[in-house]
Amino acid sequence: MPLLRSLFCFQGADNTIRFVSITLIAILVTLLATALFPSSIAAKAVVSVLATIIVALSTWRRVRDWGRYAHWVWVHPALFFVTAISYSAWLEPSAVLVFVIPLLSSLSSVLTKHSGKHFNYGYTGPIDLSPPPSQPAGRRVEPSFTGENIQHVDAHISTAYEGRSQTSSIAPVNAQNSPVDIKHFIENYKKQLVIGSLTLSLAAIIIFLFSRAATNDVIEQEATTPQTNEQASSQLLKNDELQLPDNYSLFLTQYQGLAIEWLEDVTNKEEIIWSIDSAEGERTCQHAKFNSGQTFRPFKVENINGELTAYFSPLDTQAMLQLIAFKSSFKLCDQSFSLKGSQKAIGKHPAYTHLVEY
């Protein structure tokens, strides 16, 4: 497309509206790429470099139209590139405001006078952006094999051709008037178009800011919700704590699963001592074995600051409490636990007494 080729053209000149529009579009494309690929450094870098190249070429053509301020060829693209890279690195909604710098830089060209050159879509140069001219309709002559009624046929063809010629002559005029009207409209309402473009860009930036802020609020809320749930669960467990005589405690989880906690000086510093998900960890923590022979498998044993906690399925809660109340001992993680006095302790706690049959 000629219009796309003109963006990468080193020759020619750009007028004010095209220069400001290219800068605004480059800013919006950079914002869009950052929103679509927030974690892809390569994608954001490619988009930033490509947008900077297009802005640099447009600046070069704009300076050629000015005929002065040659240093602007480097200043404006450098401002845009530094701004794009900085915003991509920060990823903060407030960082969008740094794009005001290259935007104000591009608006400085509005104060310059028009050079008087003839522009097509804001560009003049070796690439022709003018619309193709309309071709007039061709004349078609029907063959004649006899000489009869030749004058009548010629008169008919002549009349038809005059009508078609009039129609064809009107079409190019209308086709030519359309781009001329657009050019006159742009020239007459140049300031209004620039203000409208700035308004739309500002609105897009504000919408982008609010969307990013809303997204951050949702992420923060999702991050704090698990902590709140965890604190509530921890509070529930502490409320259902049952301290047994042999220096260990029983808890009920939020799903009414039994948990056993005790202090132990362990050599394994990992948080997860045993997990049924991976079937890896301390072999001695795979089962809780009572002196009567019954065994129960915990689904997780974890170490938190020297406190070991074994979690069991809610399906085993009542059976385990029955054995803890009426048996003499059990073994877990190579640690023996005495059950002396456990029946009396369970009978005094309202959270456990209804789970044991006497």
Q: Answer whether 330's CB lies under 8 Å from 290's CB.
A: yes
89, 202: one domain: yes
Q: What number of other Cβ atoms are within 10 A of residue 14's Cβ?
A: 29
Same structural domain, 204 and 263: no
Give the structural domain span for 310.
238-355
- Mean pLDDT, the chain, whole residue set: 73
Q: Do 64 and 104 lie in a common domain?
A: yes
Considering its fold, how many domains does the chain have in total?
2
Task: Encode pLDDT of 4-30 as tens digits.
Answer: 888 888 788 888 788 888 888 888 888
Report the DSSP pairing between strands 329-332 and 288-290: antiparallel
The answer to whether the beta carbons of residues 127 and 10 sit under 8 Å apart is: no
Q: Which of 100, 110, 99, 96 is nearest to 18 (CA)?
A: 110
- At 25-82, the pLDDT tens digits run 888 888 888 888 877 888 888 888 898 899 888 888 888 777 666 666 777 778 778 7
Same-domain check for residues 258 and 317: yes
Is residue 18 domain-resident?
yes
Report if pTM > 0.75. Answer: no
Say yes or no: 85 and 197 in one domain: yes
Pair (8, 98) in one structural domain: yes
Alpha carbons within 13 angstroms on the beta-carbon side of residue 45 total: 4
Would residue 135 count as lying in a domain? no
Residue 177 within a domain: no
Per-residue pLDDT tens over the stretch 97-124 = 556 656 665 555 554 555 567 777 878 8
Look at residue 85 in the predicted model and tell me its pLDDT.
76
Q: Could you give phi then psi for residue 310, rounded to 5 degrees?
A: -105, 130
